[in-house]
């Protein structure tokens, strides 16, 4: 069975400081991993994806994530937070078979203060 | 290019009623999935359809049903609504083909259903 665990339900940072959102995954085979962002009253937007190519994945808006198989982690980072980054972030795992459902974590709320 | 579109955006229903939610995928996408997002939680998988056939079903009661049409659009139907069905219902589409298993889902903005 596959699952993801987002280790923090809420993260607060100041504008201009680094962001770290933590995610651990569990999968019986090589997973595809994603980070999605959801702004209030909006749908989900893909930030980045890992699909067994490079372990360091760069996404949109300056976000990146590193796949670490030995630690079963896929943490999301950004060097410098912006006020517009305040949103809900979801770590997601997908199986290798076509059509497999996405399994979402419970989400991390990122707050950015000025 | 138009993204995934869902209608209506908001809906208020009474317990026991029936509701139909609609979704149009991105042009060229043949796979449509439905997710339920209860306030404060991550989305939960309800259904996936590909080529008008159900390809996956999450842990939801038989009150939930869906179908996909020849133009790949989809409907989600919920019968005998309960207060607990209040949620944001998200539709997503995915391009299907070689390597599609690792292609991301593209989500619509959702339908906010309130059951009173």
pLDDT digits 0-9 by tens, A54-93: 889 999 999 999 999 999 999 999 999 999 999 999 999 8
Distance CA(A88)–CA(A96), nearest Å, equals 26
Q: Does B96 touch chain A (CB under 8 A)?
A: yes
**C-beta atoms of B105 and A95 within 8 A:** no
pLDDT at A47 over 60: yes
CATH of A3-113, one of 2.60.40.10, 2.30.60.10, 3.30.750.24, 1.10.3720.10: 2.60.40.10
**C-beta atoms of A104 and B100 within 8 A:** no
Task: Using only the alpha carbons of chain A, give its radius of gyration.
Answer: 14
Q: Which tokens go with A25? A: 């995954």
Distance CA(A102)–CA(B95), nearest Å, equals 15
Residue B57 belongs to a domain with what CATH number? 2.60.40.10
Contact, B112 vs B13, CB < 8 A? no
Q: Which domain holds residue B69?
A: 5-115
Best A44, A74, A106 residue to mutate vs chain B (most B CBs within 10 Å): A44
Q: Does B44 touch chain A (CB under 8 A)?
A: yes
The domain segmentation of chain A, as residue ranges, is 3-113
Q: Does A100 touch chain B (CB under 8 A)?
A: yes
Q: What is the DSSP letter of B12?
A: E
Contact, A40 vs A30, CB < 8 A? no
Q: What is the DSSP letter of B76?
A: E
Distance CA(A45)–CA(B115), nearest Å, equals 27
Cα–Cα distances in angstroms (integers) from residue B39 to residues A15, A97, A106, A109, B36, in the given order: 27, 30, 11, 13, 10
How does pLDDT run along chain B (116 residues), one tens digit per residue? 579 999 999 999 999 999 999 999 999 898 899 999 998 899 999 999 988 888 888 889 999 999 999 999 999 999 999 999 999 999 999 876 545 656 778 999 999 999 99
Distance CA(B62)–CA(B70), nearest Å, equals 24
Give the pLDDT of residue B98: 47
pLDDT at A96 over 70: no
Contact, A52 vs A27, CB < 8 A? no
Domains identified in chain B, total number: 1
């Amino acid at each position: 069975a596959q699952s993801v665990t987002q280790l923090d339900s809420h993260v607060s940072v100041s504008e201009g400081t680094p962001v770290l959102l933590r995610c651990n995954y569990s999968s019986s085979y090589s997973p595809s991993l994603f980070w999605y962002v959801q702004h209030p009253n909006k749908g989900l937007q893909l930030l980045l994806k890992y699909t067994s190519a490079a372990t360091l994945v760069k996404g949109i808006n300056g976000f990146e994530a590193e796949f670490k198989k030995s630690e079963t982690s896929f943490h999301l980072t950004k060097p410098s937070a912006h006020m517009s980054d305040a949103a809900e972030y979801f770590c997601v795992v997908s199986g290798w078979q076509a059509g497999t459902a996405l399994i979402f974590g419970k989400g991390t709320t990122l707050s950015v203060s000025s | 290019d138009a993204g995934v579109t869902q209608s209506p955006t908001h809906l208020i229903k009474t317990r026991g009623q029936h509701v139909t939610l609609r979704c149009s995928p991105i042009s060229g996408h043949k796979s449509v999935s439905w997710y339920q997002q209860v306030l404060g939680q991550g989305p939960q998988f309800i259904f996936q359809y590909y080529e008008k056939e159900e390809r996956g079903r999450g842990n939801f009661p038989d009150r939930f049903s869906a179908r996909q049409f020849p133009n790949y659009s989809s409907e989600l139907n919920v019968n005998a609504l309960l207060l607990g069905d209040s949620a944001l219902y998200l539709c997503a589409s995915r391009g299907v083909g070689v390597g599609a298993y690792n292609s991301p889902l593209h989500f619509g903005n959702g339908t906010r259903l309130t059951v009173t």
